[in-house]
């Protein structure tokens, strides 16, 4: 499937806020209460927050587009705050990879992942790492295909009052 991938700018804030809410909702609805979901969507993907992130030159958002319409997105960042042990290496966190559900299973995610790995190589990263919900089987299978492995580390990723656990996966490039 033919798509374009480009870095998001401030002008994309509304699009990014909307697709972030939609994809997070579609992925995790039913795993927490509706109240928790509504609070989470507003807390993390509100327009002001998304604009703040887009204004940060170290925060890399990319949109996957087809015919000018956003159908998925990526968020990459060199950020060690969630797992300081990653400071041992030059590490790139794949903070998000989300594709609208009607475009899953069509190679869009693969193009976003290829883009990520190329970005990591071009910028001399030694490792790419990411967090995935322990029960998100589809995403885990997808990451496995790219050679990501469980690092042995987890972290709490509650959605409101609903406790959830994410696994940190990593892939070394050197």
Ligand X SMILES: CC(C)(COP(=O)(O)OP(=O)(O)OC[C@H]1O[C@@H](n2cnc3c(N)ncnc32)[C@H](O)[C@@H]1OP(=O)(O)O)[C@@H](O)C(=O)NCCC(=O)NCCS
Query: In whole angstroms, how close is the CB of 30 to ligand X at the nearest point?
Result: 13
Distance CA(81)–CA(111), nearest Å, equals: 27
Distance in angstroms (rounded) separating the CA atoms of residues 123 and 58: 13
With binding defined as CB under 6 A, does residue 169 bind ligand X? no
The answer to whether 127 and 92 have CB atoms below 8 angstroms apart is yes
Which residues, 51 to 80, sit near ligand X by CB under 6 A?
A: none
Counting Cα atoms < 13 Å in the Cβ hemisphere of 50 gives 22
| 19 versus 55: smaller Cβ distance to ligand X | 19
CB of 130 to ligand X, least distance (A): 6
Q: Which stretch binds ligand X (CB under 6 A): 60-68, 75-83, 104-112, 151-159?
A: 104-112
Residue with tokens 């994809």: 23
Binding mask 16-45 for ligand X (x = CB under 6 A): -------x---x------------------
Least CB distance to ligand X at residue 35 (A): 22
CA atoms within 13 A on the CB side of 161: 4
Decide: is 105 part of the binding site for ligand X (CB under 6 A). Answer: yes
Do residues 132 and 140 touch, judged by C-beta distance below 8 A? Answer: yes
């Amino acid at each position: 499937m033919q798509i374009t991938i480009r870095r998001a700018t401030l002008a994309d804030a509304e699009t990014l806020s909307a697709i972030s809410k939609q994809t997070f909702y579609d992925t995790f609805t039913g795993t927490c209460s509706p109240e928790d979901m509504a609070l989470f969507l507003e807390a993390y993907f509100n327009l002001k927050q998304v604009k703040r992130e887009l204004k940060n030159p170290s925060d890399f958002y990319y949109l996957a587009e087809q015919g000018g319409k956003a159908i998925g997105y990526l968020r990459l960042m060199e950020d060690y705050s969630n797992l300081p042990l990653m400071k041992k290496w030059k590490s790139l966190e794949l903070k998000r990879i989300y594709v609208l559900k009607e475009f899953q299973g069509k190679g869009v995610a693969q193009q976003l992942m290829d883009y990520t790995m190329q970005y990591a190589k071009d910028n001399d990263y030694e490792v790419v790492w990411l967090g995935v919900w322990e029960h998100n089987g589809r995403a885990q299978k997808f990451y496995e295909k790219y050679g990501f492995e469980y690092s042995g580390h987890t972290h709490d990723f509650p959605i409101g009052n609903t406790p959830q656990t994410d696994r940190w996966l990593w892939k070394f490039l050197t």
